[in-house]
Amino acid sequence: MSLLELNRVQAYYGGIEALKGISLTVGEGEIVTLIGSNGAGKSTTLKSICGQVKTSGEIRFKGEAISSWLPHQIAASGIAHVPEGRRIFPKLTVKENLEMGAFSVKDKALVKERIEQAFAYFPRLKERYRQAGGTMSGGEQQMLAIARGLMMKPDILLLDEPSMGLAPVLVDQIFEIIQELNASGMTILLVEQNAYHALQIADRGYVIQTGEITMQGKASSLIADEQVKESYLA
């Protein structure tokens, strides 16, 4: 059984059908990437999983149908979503941002412990823990967004364009972090425009085009595919 399973999921914005029946699965311990051009429906897929857009079809997480749940219930069930554009709380401090990531954790000592873990993993955040999130650089904000997502010790991490707008050096660093997280057992669904990079670290991949999955397979075979090369890796 897959950890996360989407079965012919359709999503609508107003009257427009943004997803036309997407099916995909993410198994425990995998990195699965969803690649495609702007407006193909990558972010909408993640938002559908998190209950932020109205959907029809079936979404199962740990075997349970979650598509009728409210966003905060879905999050509390173990899905951490690091949204596009990082969306850290600009006027909350770094520490408060992290605390909000652990909102579902009742045990205060545990929250403290996880903040220490986050600081150990991202030393830059420790230097800035009393600073307002909005005053940090793009790379630091991305690290904070990921650290915030990890605070709830999720079963799966959804990453939406984590490399967007970052300098090449930082992009490499973010991809390294994703690999390390996966090596330590974290399941990851990665949405990327940077298809080459994403396919390099992923186990499997899906190509999405105008709301439909057009190709899927092992990341290593997608990266060698002529059509994928032409459309996304050129």
Partner 1 sequence: MNDILHTLPQVLIDGLALGAIYAVVALGYTMVYGILELINFAHGEIFMTGAFVGTAVLLAAQGTGLAASLPPWLFYLLIMLIAMMFTGALGVGIERVAYRPLRKAPKLISLIAAFGVSFVLQDVVRFIAELRTGNYIVSSSSLYGERMSLPASSISSLFGDATVKTNTLIILGAALLLMVALDRFVNRSKWGVAMRAVAQDRETASLMSINVNKVIVLTFFIGSALGGATGVLFAQQYGTIDPYIGFILGMKAFTAAVLGGIGNIRGAMFGGFVIGILEMFASSNLGTLTGGSFGAEYKDVFAFSILIIVLIFKPEGLFGRAVKEKV
Give me the residues that bind partner 1 (CB under 8 A), please. 50, 52, 70-73, 75-76, 80-81, 83, 87, 89-92, 96, 99-101, 103-104, 148, 152
Shortest distance in whole angstroms from residue 104 CB to partner 1: 4
The C-alpha atoms of residue 192 and residue 125 are separated, in whole angstroms, by 24
Write down the least CB distance from residue 142 to partner 1, Å: 14
* CB 23, min distance to partner 1, A: 24
Give the residue with the Cβ less far from partner 1, 94 or 222: 94
The CA distance from 221 to 171, in Å, is 23
Minimum CB distance to partner 1 smaller for 9 or for 152: 152
2 or 52: whose CB is closer to partner 1? 52
Report the nearest approach of partner 1 to the CB of residue 71 (Å).
Answer: 4
- Would you say 47 or 204 has its CB closer to partner 1? 47
Of 157 and 222, which CB lies nearer to partner 1 in the complex structure? 157
CA distance 183 to 205: 18
Instruction: State in angstroms the smallest separation of the CB of 174 from partner 1.
Output: 19
Considering the complex, what minimum distance in angstroms separates the CB of residue 100 from partner 1? 5
* Nearest-approach distance from CB 16 to partner 1, in angstroms: 17
Q: Give the separation between CA 146 and CA 159, rounded to whole angstroms.
A: 8
**Residue among 159 and 219 whose Cβ is closer to partner 1:** 159
Encode the chain in three state secondary structure: CCCEEEEEEEEEECCEEEEEEEEEEECCCCEEEEECCCCCCHHHHHHHHCCCCCEEEEEEECCEECCCCCHHHHHHCCEEEECCCCCCCCCCEHHHHHHHHCCCCCCHHHHHHHHHHHHHHCHHHHHCCCCEHHHCCHHHHHHHHHHHHHCCCCCEEEEECCCCCCCHHHHHHHHHHHHHHHHCCCEEEEEECCHHHHHHHCCEEEEEECCEEEEEEEHHHHHHCHHHHHHHHC
**Residue 21 or residue 85: which is nearer to partner 1 going by CB?**
85
